[in-house]
């Protein structure tokens, strides 16, 4: 028996080496909450929930309150070894509305504990055997310079260009495409309307730009607009902010709104929910990629584990931790040759050590 006797949270802030700008926000650091669960035998597991006001509505304070409140109510005193992963997920999902990042970090912490107990990396615990998964690298919005000889370009082949803040973005994509070795990915983070998106894609195609896909050009609620755009232009459309839950994905499929879904743990609420989304997407003939919010190596390691289990051959969207890991000085960086390398140590223990979880200041809720 190894019931959970303690749930704890700690705020984490990590500076970025380059500001990250999208149509939704600008930031120069990662702000997140690390969740730790401990069982009666002293085993631990960790997860990370990012503060993302403009996408999930969660803050460091709301995440900590949710984890130490209703989610801890649910976990304390239970033995996750005796419960199917699906039940843990369902119970966490039923405990609170929304709060996807808080739920995901808590579920991942439980899965990390179980994977460590089994002595295998989280990826392998989920059924993923890949030792590394492919990822793109993001080029931030608002005229951020792209250096074809810089550290990003020397590490990654696939670029994803953030647009939507500036009419000159259309020409910027054409320019970057000239130096890119692969068809480019473009992400507008909901910034456009149907007419603007149509004009942009037509301009790119006329200029000979090869597009891998266009991500979330229209507002999250505008499924009909995305469906109409798909009829107008021969470019795969990725749904990101439009799809949080399995219900969102069902609606998107029914309305023919997308070709690919970007699965993020902080949107869907955890690994099990991500696996459910992937299964539905696959049944409906949609492609998938695993993405993340602006998170540290800890959150990215969980996302890479999911990507390894779901679609190991795919180029995912897992570069977020690259922004807080100096690519020049950090020999331990998991980013190598356009991939996120999955460490061999049990669970997420390697990433937990790398982000310095032991030095964080913890708020603890213990079983009385
Ligand atoms: Mg996106």
Per-residue pLDDT band for 326 (boundaries 50, 70, 90) equals confident
Q: Where are the beta strands (DSSP E) in the chain?
A: 4-21, 26-39, 44-50, 132-135, 137-139, 159-162, 184-187, 211-215, 237-239, 260-263, 287-290, 315-316, 335-336, 339-341, 363-366
- For ligand 1, the distance from its centroid to the CA atom of residue 84, given in whole angstroms, is 31
- For ligand 1, the distance from its centroid to the CA atom of residue 184, given in whole angstroms, is 14
- Per-residue pLDDT tens over the stretch 184-233: 999 999 999 999 999 999 999 999 999 999 999 999 999 999 999 999 99
Q: Which residue has the tokens 């996807």?
A: 100
Q: Is the pLDDT of residue 248 over 60?
A: yes
- For ligand 1, the distance from its centroid to the CA atom of residue 327, given in whole angstroms, is 23
Report the pLDDT value the prediction gives residue 200, as an integer from 0 to 100: 98
- DSSP, collapsed to helix, strand or coil, labels residue 239 as strand
Query: Domain extents for the chain?
Result: 4-120+352-366, 132-346
Cα–Cα dist 139/147, whole Å: 10
- For ligand 1, the distance from its centroid to the CA atom of residue 216, given in whole angstroms, is 6
The total number of residues written for the chain in this structure: 368
Distance from the Cα of residue 263 to its chain's centroid? 7
Q: Is the pLDDT of residue 53 over 70?
A: yes
- For ligand 1, the distance from its centroid to the CA atom of residue 264, given in whole angstroms, is 10
Burial status of residue 358 (CB atoms within 10 A of its CB: 0-12, 13-18, 19 or more): exposed
Per-residue pLDDT band for 302 (boundaries 50, 70, 90) equals very high
User: Residues of the chain with pLDDT > 70: what percent?
Assistant: 99
- For ligand 1, the distance from its centroid to the CA atom of residue 114, given in whole angstroms, is 31
Report the pLDDT value the prediction gives residue 143, as an integer from 0 to 100: 63
Compute the average pLDDT of residues 41-46: 97
- Per-residue pLDDT tens over the stretch 119-140: 999 999 999 999 999 999 999 9
- CATH of the domain spanning 4-120+352-366, picked from 1.20.1730.10, 3.30.390.10, 3.30.870.10, 3.40.50.2300: 3.30.390.10
Name the residues annotated as catalytic. 162, 264
Report the pLDDT value the prediction gives residue 86, as an integer from 0 to 100: 82
Determine if the pTM surpasses 0.95: yes
- CATH of the domain spanning 132-346, picked from 3.40.50.1820, 3.30.420.40, 3.30.230.10, 3.20.20.120: 3.20.20.120
- For ligand 1, the distance from its centroid to the CA atom of residue 36, given in whole angstroms, is 28
- For ligand 1, the distance from its centroid to the CA atom of residue 229, given in whole angstroms, is 17
């Amino acid at each position: 028996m190894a019931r959970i006797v303690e749930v704890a949270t700690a705020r984490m802030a990590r500076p970025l080496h380059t500001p990250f700008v999208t149509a939704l926000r600008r930031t120069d650091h990662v702000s997140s909450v690390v969740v730790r669960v401990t069982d009666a035998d002293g085993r631990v597991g960790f997860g990370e929930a990012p503060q993302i006001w403009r996408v999930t509505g969660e803050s460091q304070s709301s995440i900590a309150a949710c984890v130490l409140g209703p989610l801890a109510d649910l976990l304390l005193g239970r033995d996750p070894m005796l419960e199917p992963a699906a039940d843990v997920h369902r119970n966490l999902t039923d405990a609170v509305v929304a709060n996807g990042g808080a739920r995901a970090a808590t579920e991942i912490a439980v899965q990390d504990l179980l994977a460590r107990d089994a002595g295998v990396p989280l990826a392998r615990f989920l059924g993923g055997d890949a030792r590394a998964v492919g990822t793109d690298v993001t080029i931030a919005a608002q005229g951020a310079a792209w250096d074809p000889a810089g550290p990003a370009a020397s590490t990654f082949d696939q670029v994803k260009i953030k647009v939507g803040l500036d009419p000159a973005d259309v020409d910027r994509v054409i320019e970057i495409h000239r130096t890119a070795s692969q068809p480019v990915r473009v992400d507008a983070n909901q910034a456009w309307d149907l007419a603007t998106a149509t004009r942009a894609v037509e301009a790119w195609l006329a200029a000979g730009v090869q597009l891998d896909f266009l991500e979330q050009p229209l507002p999250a609620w505008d499924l009909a607009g995305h469906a109409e755009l798909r009829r107008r232009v021969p470019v795969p459309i990725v749904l990101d902010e439009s799809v949080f839950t399995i219900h969102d994905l069902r609606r998107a499929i029914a309305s023919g709104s997308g070709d690919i879904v970007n699965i993020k743990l902080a949107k869907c609420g955890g690994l099990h929910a991500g696996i459910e989304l992937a299964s539905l997407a696959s049944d409906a003939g949609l492609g998938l990629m695993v993405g993340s919010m602006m998170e540290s190596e800890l959150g990215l390691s969980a996302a890479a584990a999911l990507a390894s289990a779901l679609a190991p051959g795919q180029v995912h969207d897992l570069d977020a931790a690259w922004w807080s890991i100096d690519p020049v000085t950090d020999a331990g960086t998991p980013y190598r040759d356009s991939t996120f390398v999955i460490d061999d140590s049990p669970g997420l223990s390697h990433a937990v050590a790398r982000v310095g979880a032991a030095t964080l200041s913890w708020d603890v809720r213990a079983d009385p």
